[in-house]
Each structure stands twice: as structure tokens, then as C-alpha cells.
Amino acid sequence: MQHTTRRLFLGGAAALGATTLAACGGGSGGGGGDIPDEIPADEAAEIAYSIWDPAQKPAMEKIIAAFNEEYPDITVSISVTPFAQYFEKLQTQATGGDLPDVFWMNGPNFQLYASEGKLQDVSEVPGVDTAKYPQAMNDLYTLDDAQFAVPKDFDTIALWWNQDLFEQAGVEAPDGNWTWEDYAQAARQITDALGEDGIWGGCNGVENQAYLYPMTFQAGGEIVSDDGTTSGYDSPGAIEAFTFARSLVEDGAHPSIAYLTDNKPADVFNGGKAAMYWSGNWSAAVFKDSPVKDAIRTAPLPQGAEPANVIHGIGNAMAAEGANKAAAAAFLAFLGSEQANLIQAEEGAANPAHEGTATAYVESVPEFDLQMFIDNAADARPYPVSKNTNAWLSLEADYFPRILGGELEVEAGLGELAEKMNQALADEQ
């Protein structure tokens, strides 16, 4: 396996923020030997499990309780670190040889840990069947033909729209077969009809996963090459996508980028000030309590030259070196099981990744048609990542507003972004 430099791994914390907290107990550091083919029910150990979302802690505790019905002598200590500090803490633990036994991982960070040999190859964990998860999610957590996390949940993207605003503007509702031009026409018509009331047709700004990534893929472009060595921002498809997104701002179909910098797009839509919003199923947790909830609907994304969506989600990872690898492996396998995913769905914690377990999640807000987000996985592309994704995510944050806001011309701005991103990718090799 190709490895990143130790400088990159140690320096990665700088891209994520200053290093902070001390290591969790029960983590890696002693080496736990090989994982047995079968882990006996009387296996005894204390292991650490790290997550970042306090809202999901109750569901994870119920999963641990169910796990203890099978493995009563394995004590799982759960630790919650806010996302803003989570990867700072994890890098401190990794460089100190004290990773938690099992922990949440995301796409932008996983290759860095996997390429440094910090993560367990899940093919060596008995009871893990990766065929039960969307292939794009497996691909997201695969490096050099080895998979290093078990998908926990996933999200895809759809068009959220406000039925009341469409009716007020006299515009026909999305029919599931919209093209980009259909979307642009509806957005312009709604702004023209309701703009005096401070209402826009759409309200996306510079969101990558929910807006500019799927649009780029739909135009035949790419964000980063499959081998992670070159940027795709200078590709014709990317130029087409960004040109279209900028035209929506210039036409007044969307608010200005400056306005959406001061007013989050989700808040604009949630406040009934925009009729459409490209976003993921994570928005259901917000919109179910929206003041305009009764008017909110979902529809498939408008499509470009080819169908495309973007999939991302949390993966449960295991430390490659740990004092209690057998116990950690048993817990990791259980986290990926149908039973654990059903608990997660019933608790409304997230859209579970295991096939056939999402019914409870879908039924939690039936008017939003959350099944659509699950069906989207069929043509979804994995969230774009490399070994140091955060290096070029910071470049996106710099260039996207200037390109869509009109400070830079689209082709020239994307060319500059691609050049700098190529250098960041070269530094990973």
C-alpha cells in the first residue's frame, strides 16, 4: 500500500484545526494480535467507541445494550466529541498511538488514516458482509482495493420545494423529470412573481456536496481523478456546471452569494423565503419542525447530460492496532448488523446503510418521501476524496464564492482552483 508522508499525517491536524484533547482510554497502543475467525460469547474486555453527534448518542447506547446481550463481558465506553474538535482529537490520538478501539470516520478524512495503516481492513473482521451496503458507500471507504470502514448511514441529494410558493406564483410543480433548464425557468418565474415579497425561486449558494458536486457530475465533469492525482475543476463539465450555477445568481433566480453568506440557504428555505433548495436527507431533521413544514415536498434532482447524485455517510472504523482487537471486531461487526441498523432507524438517528432497514426512517416524516433519498443511491457517486481532502476543501471555500459571485470569470477561476488543487494533490503522493 502506498503511504503518505509522516509530515502529511502530522500536519493534517493543522488543516483541521489546532490539536486539543488527550487520548481516550481503552484505545490502541498495545497491539492485540490477529482477529480470530470466531469470537466467543465469553470474550471479556473494555473498549472505547468515539462519535461526534450527541443527538445520536441515545441510539448508540441502545445498540451497545443490544450488543451486550450477545457479549455481556465486553464493556463499551462511548465518548462524544463535537465535530469541530473531533478530528483534531483523533489525530492527537493517532499520532500518540492511542486511537479508540472503534470510532466514526468520514470520507474526507478516511484515506489519510487508511494510508498510514491506522485502520483495520474490514475483510478481516468476522461477521462483516459488505454486500449489504450501497456499493458507492463501500467505494467511499476503499483504498488500494481494501475497505477500512463499515458504512453506518448514508445521505443523497434531492430537490426540496415549497408547494404553497409554487401555487402562489402559478408555476407547475416539479414532475420528477426536470432538466436544468426546467429548474432555471421555474426559479426565474417564481422570483418574478414573488420577488417583491422577498421570495426567490431557489436559494443554493456554494454548497459542494448538495449542489455543485452533483451538478458537475451531471455535466460529465469530475472533482478529482479516480487515482486522486489531478483536479477535475478545469474539465468542460465543471465549467458548464459552474456557468449554469452562476447564471441563476445573475438572473436573480437565486439570491446573491453575499446574501447567502450572511443568511444560510437552509434558513432561507426554512423561513419560506425560497421555493426550492438542493439538499440531502439530513435536512429532514430540520424541516420536520419548520414553520412551513406542511408545504415542504421533495422531488428528484433536475438532471444535466447524465443522471448523477452524490452519496456520503459515516463509517464505523476500527483501530488497526489495539489492545482488545477481538472485542473491537465483535463490536464493529455488530454495528454493521441488521439489528443495529434497525435500532438506528427506529430511533430516527440517521438513514441506516444496511439494506432493508430504512422503513422506520422513511416513515418518520412520510410527507417528505424520504424513500427517494434511498433510491438515489443507485446512481450516486461517492463523495470526492483524496488522502488530504481538507487541503483542497479549503481551496473550494476560497474560490467558489468568488467564481459564483462574479469576482472571477468561471473558466479562469476554475483553472486557478485546479492548478492549486493539483499542487495539493501532488503533495499527498
* pLDDT for 27: 37
Segments of 106-230 assigned E as strands? 142-143, 146-147, 150-151, 157-162, 200-202
Neighbours of 314 (CB within 10 A): 23
Structural contact between residues 125 and 116, judged by C-beta atoms closer than 8 angstroms: no
Q: Kindly list the structural domains of the chain, giving each domain's residue range(s) and its CATH number in brackets, ordered by start.
A: 20-153+313-356 (3.40.190.10), 157-311+385-428 (3.40.190.10)
Residue 181 neighbours by CB distance under 10 Å: 11
Give the whole-number percent of the chain exceeding pLDDT 90.
86
Buried b (16+ CB within 10 A) or exposed e, 236-267: ebbbbbbbbbbbbbeeebbbebeebeeeebbe
Give tens-digit pLDDT for 118-167: 999 999 999 999 999 999 999 999 999 999 999 999 999 999 999 999 99
Residue 86: closest CA among 179, 5, 16, 153: 16
In this prediction, residue 23 carries a pLDDT of 29
The helix-helix angle for 6-16 and 107-115 (nearest 10°) equals: 160
Q: Is the pLDDT of residue 31 over 50?
A: no
What whole-number percentage of the chain has pLDDT above 70?
92
pLDDT band at 30 (very low <50, low <70, confident <90, very high): very low
Q: Is 236 helix (H, G, I), strand (E, B) or coil?
A: helix
pLDDT tens per residue across span 355-380: 999 998 899 888 899 999 999 998 89
Q: What is the pLDDT of residues 66-79, one digit of tens each?
A: 999 999 999 999 99
**Number of helical H runs and strand E runs in the chain:** 18, 13
pLDDT digits (tens, 9 = 90+) for 244-260: 999 999 999 999 999 99
What pTM was computed for the model? 0.86
For all residues of the chain together, what is the average pLDDT? 91
- How far, in Å, CA of 263 to CA of 271, rounded? 11
Q: What is the pLDDT of residues 180-229, one digit of tens each?
A: 999 999 999 999 999 999 999 999 999 999 999 999 999 999 999 999 99
Q: How many CB atoms lie within 10 A of CB 6?
A: 10
What integer pLDDT is reported at residue 373 of this predicted model? 95
Split at pLDDT 50, 70, 90, the class of 348 is confident
Residue 358: exposed, middle, or buried by beta-carbon count in 10 A (0-12, 13-18, 19+)? Answer: buried
The pLDDT score that the predictor gives to residue 33 is 61
Residue 427 to residue 59: CA distance in whole angstroms: 40
Q: What is the CA radius of gyration of the chain?
A: 22
- CA 119/CA 376 separation, integer angstroms: 29
